[in-house]
Structure 1
Amino acid sequence: MWIRSIHGAISVVHATQSPDHLFIKAKNKAELSRLFDEHRIMVDEGDQLKYGISICKQEFADTLIKMIKEIDYYDFNLEILKLNSHLNSSMA
């Protein structure tokens, strides 16, 4: 499944090593770092979504609940534009 949020876009799939784990992947590290401990993020240079993290289903469910509780905007696309504008102005 794909999830798109103000933190970025992530892919969620079943982790092969354990039935109670998921593997979360993203194109860039920042998208995962906003949600999870950076030290747990793995890199696979051979994958288009080269950054990933293995996580138990319950921890990911808790993360989703937290993300839902943080929603305080009325227009998702406008919020993304604001965040991008803020990021671009802080980099200048």
Structure 2
Amino acid sequence: MLAAANAKLKTKLKSPANASVQTVLEELEAAEAPVDILRLLSVSLPPRECVWWACIAGRDILEEGEKSACLTASEAWVFEPECRKP
């Protein structure tokens, strides 16, 4: 997954390259490597969940009550991915 996304972890792992995501997450947690945990999650989540995660992060940086057309459209897609505007 990491190679396909052209992403690399900075933490040296003992797990083999074909280790499960859960195994690598556990190793990264033990190594106290939060940035690498986020990096791995960003490439291992399915597309819809990845967009939702980005929406949550986007909401965190907006001021309370502030609107974003991009964020609104992204959230709409997460809730109804088959819905398309004409």
Specify the TM-score bucket, using the shorter chain as the normaliser: under 0.3
**TM-score, normalising length: structure 1:** 0.22
Give the number of the structure whose alpha-carbon radius of gyration is greater.
2
> Which structure: greater helix fraction?
2
> Which structure: greater strand fraction?
1
